[in-house]
């Protein structure tokens, strides 16, 4: 009898705090090289619980002429989840975990990213390998190291949609197949809500602290003297000026994201030009085929009047070769990456736009009132 909890769709992902710390440490240590590892845990009533994680073994790239190829090392690390050596490593680690009675179910893998750049062919192939060969109920956790360095933890969980899994299995990403399946770039990845969970032991420790945690929000110190001087006679100024909020410099994370957004848009235009070139070639070849077929029909008509056997009319398949349509998968992934960059820019422009509107009269003297 089928288990209703196993057959139901995944609703959320719950990650232990220990797993979060291990992912952050691993991704930060190897940055800017891509960090990858696998997750173990359990599937409980539609919630995928990741209770432990292990990084994949690193592969040393031999240096040539005293130079180390960072791109080759990053590509090997990005493809590590589906490597045969690492597959055997996962099996061995899961077997060892079962011997000590620890959660030993493969629930997915994790990867590090920079500036939100994670929608690529390596991630798609890795997640497809996990959902198809290892376990269908697996997720890919993406940790953005650059975004987390700004003070906000970036940890997201993704899965491949069933429609994209079916299309990727057929390996047909042509215009005709995409129109039939109605597959869009928004349908490639499905994001699941992710929560961080603390163990009962840590929760008990927090409740046993000597001092009771404050129930209200603590006031922020106004300067360094307020932190160092704890005297009750020290009277703080209620409205201490904070010039950091008046800083008009744009966040470097926003600048770099805009640069990457422009690069992705240029890549999209390049792919568009390639597709237009394919359409022009296809039109020329089809015009040649049509002219040849009309000529052959005229020849057969004249041969029929002369009571001769007609010539075959399907020789054009041997004489003419139609150009092959470029794969549309790269265009879809690039469009999904453009959407990711646009969301990041939208999230960072709120504070910058308010500052610019505030000082608009000083930046543009012509708009200032007399």
Lowest mean pLDDT segment, chosen from 71-80, 125-134, 167-176: 71-80
pLDDT > 70: percent of the chain: 77
Q: Which of 359, 6, 318, 13 is nearest to 192 (CA)?
A: 13
Residue 296 has pLDDT above 70, yes or no: yes
The confidence score (pLDDT) of residue 364 equals 60
Q: Mean pLDDT, to the nearest integer, of 22-34?
A: 84
104-136 CB burial, b ≥16 within 10 A, e <16? bbbbbbbbbbbbbbbbbebbbebbbbbbeebee
pLDDT > 90: percent of the chain: 0
Which one-letter DSSP state was computed for residue 67?
B
Residue 197 has pLDDT above 50, yes or no: yes
Confidence of residue 5 (pLDDT cuts 50, 70, 90): very low
Q: What is the pLDDT of residues 228-255, one digit of tens each?
A: 554 444 444 444 555 555 666 666 777 7
Tell me the three state secondary structure of residue 49: strand
The confidence score (pLDDT) of residue 325 equals 79
Q: Mean pLDDT, to the nearest integer, of 128-137?
A: 80
Residue 279 has pLDDT above 50, yes or no: yes
The confidence score (pLDDT) of residue 228 equals 55
- In 96-136, beta strands by DSSP E: 105-113
Task: Give the H/E segment covering residue 192.
Answer: strand 189-192
Q: What is the pLDDT of residues 104-121, one digit of tens each?
A: 788 888 888 888 788 888
The confidence score (pLDDT) of residue 233 equals 43
Q: What is the pLDDT of residues 48-75, one digit of tens each?
A: 888 888 888 776 554 444 444 455 656 6
The predicted model scores a pTM of: 0.69
Does residue 23 contact residue 56 with C-beta atoms inside 8 Å?
no
The confidence score (pLDDT) of residue 16 equals 87
Q: Which of 126, 137, 183, 188 is nearest to 161 (CA)?
A: 188
The two structure tokens encoding residue 133: 């060969």
């Amino acid at each position: 009898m089928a288990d209703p909890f196993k057959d139901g769709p995944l609703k959320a992902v719950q990650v232990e705090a220990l797993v979060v710390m291990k992912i952050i440490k691993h991704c930060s240590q190897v940055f800017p090289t891509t960090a990858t590892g696998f997750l173990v845990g359990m599937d409980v009533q539609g919630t995928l619980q990741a209770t432990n994680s292990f990084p994949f073994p690193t592969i040393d790239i031999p240096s040539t002429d005293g130079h180390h190829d960072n791109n080759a090392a990053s590509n090997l690390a990005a493809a590590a989840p589906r490597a045969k050596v690492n597959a055997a490593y996962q099996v061995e680690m899961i077997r060892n975990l079962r011997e000590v009675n620890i959660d030993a179910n493969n629930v997915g893998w994790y990867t590090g990213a920079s500036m939100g750049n994670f929608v690529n062919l390596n991630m798609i192939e890795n997640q497809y390998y996990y959902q198809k060969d290892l376990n269908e109920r697996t997720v890919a956790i993406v940790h953005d190291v650059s975004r987390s360095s700004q003070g906000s933890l970036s940890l997201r969980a993704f899965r491949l949609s069933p429609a994209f899994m079916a299309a990727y299995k057929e390996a047909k990403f042509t215009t005709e197949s995409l129109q039939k399946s109605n597959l869009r770039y928004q349908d490639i990845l499905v994001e699941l809500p992710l929560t961080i969970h603390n163990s009962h032991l840590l929760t008990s420790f927090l409740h046993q602290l000597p001092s009771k945690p404050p129930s209200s929000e603590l006031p922020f110190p106004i300067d360094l003297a307020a932190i160092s001087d704890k005297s009750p006679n020290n009277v703080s100024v209620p409205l201490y000026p904070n010039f950091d909020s008046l800083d008009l410099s744009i966040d470097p994370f926003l600048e770099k994201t805009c640069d990457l957004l422009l690069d992705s848009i240029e890549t999209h235009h390049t792919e568009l030009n390639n597709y237009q070139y394919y359409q022009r070639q296809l039109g020329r070849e089809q015009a040649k085929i049509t002219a040849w077929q009309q000529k052959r029909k005229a020849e057969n008509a004249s041969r029929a009047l002369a009571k001769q056997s007609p010539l075959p009319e399907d020789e054009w398949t041997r004489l003419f070769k139609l150009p092959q349509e470029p794969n549309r998968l790269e265009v879809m992934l690039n469009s999904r990456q453009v959407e990711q960059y646009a969301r990041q820019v939208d999230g960072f422009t709120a504070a910058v736009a308010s500052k610019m509107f505030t000082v608009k009269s000083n930046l543009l003297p012509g708009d200032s009132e007399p």
